[in-house]
Amino acid sequence: MKKPLPKLRIGAEAYERIEALARDLLAACRHEADNGATIFYPDTGGAYQAMWTRDFAYMVEYAGQLMDAGEILGGIDYLLGGQRDDGVIPDRVCSDGTPIYHAGPVKQPLGGEPPTDNAQFMVKAVFAYCKLTGDFKAFLERRDALYRGMESVPLSDDGLVFVDANRPHSAYGFTDTVAKTGKVLFSSLLYWEACQVLAEMLRQCEYHDEALEWYEAAEGAGKPLGQFYDDGFGMFRAASEDCNQIDLWGSAYACVNRAASKGQANRVADFFLAAWDQCFHKGHVRHLPGRETWQRLLLNIGPETYQNGAFWAVPTGWCAQTINLLNEGAAARLIRDCLAQWEAEGVYECIGPYTQPKAAGYVASATNMLGACRP
pLDDT at 18 over 90: yes
pLDDT at residue 106, rounded to an integer: 86
pLDDT of residue 105: 87
Is it the case that residue 203 has pLDDT exceeding 90? Answer: yes
- pLDDT average, residue stretch 163-187: 98
What mean pLDDT comes out for the span 50-55?
98
Give yes or no for a contact between 337 and 280, defined as CB atoms under 8 angstroms apart. yes
Query: What is the per-residue pLDDT across 88-139, written as a single tens digit (0 to 9) for each?
Result: 999 999 999 999 999 998 888 998 899 999 999 999 999 999 999 999 999 9
pLDDT band at residue 35 under the 50/70/90 scheme:
very high
Confidence of residue 219 (pLDDT cuts 50, 70, 90): very high
> Could you tell me if 53 and 79 are in contact, meaning their C-beta atoms sit under 8 angstroms apart?
yes
What's the CATH class of domain 8-374? mainly alpha
Angle CA(145)–CA(147)–CA(153) in degrees, nearest 5? 110
Question: What letters, b where the CB count within 10 A reaches 16 and e where it falls short, cover 163-178?
Answer: beeeebbbbbbbbbbb
Considering the entire predicted model, what is its pTM? 0.98
Mean pLDDT confidence for 298-308: 97
Instruction: Report domain extents, the chain.
Output: 8-374
Angle at 108 between CA 106 and CA 110, to 5 degrees: 100
pLDDT (average), residues 60-84: 98
254's CB contacts (< 8 A; 6+ apart) are: 185, 189, 225, 228, 236, 260, 264, 265, 268
**pLDDT surpasses 90 at 70:** yes
Mean pLDDT, the chain, rounded, equals 97
Q: Is 14 exposed, middle or buried (0-12, 13-18, 19+ CB in 10 A)?
A: middle
Helix (H) / strand (E) containing 230: strand 229-230
Would you say residue 2 has pLDDT above 90?
Answer: no
Cα–Cα distance, 23 to 38 (Å, whole number): 16
Residues 6+ apart with CB under 8 A from 305: 352, 354, 355
Averaged pLDDT, 17-26: 98
Task: Give the separation between CA 89 and CA 79, rounded to whole angstroms.
Answer: 8
Q: Identify the pLDDT of residue 152.
A: 98
Q: Is the pLDDT of residue 286 over 90?
A: yes
Amino acid making up residue 87: G
CB 323 within 8 A of CB 330: yes
pLDDT the model gives residue 370: 98
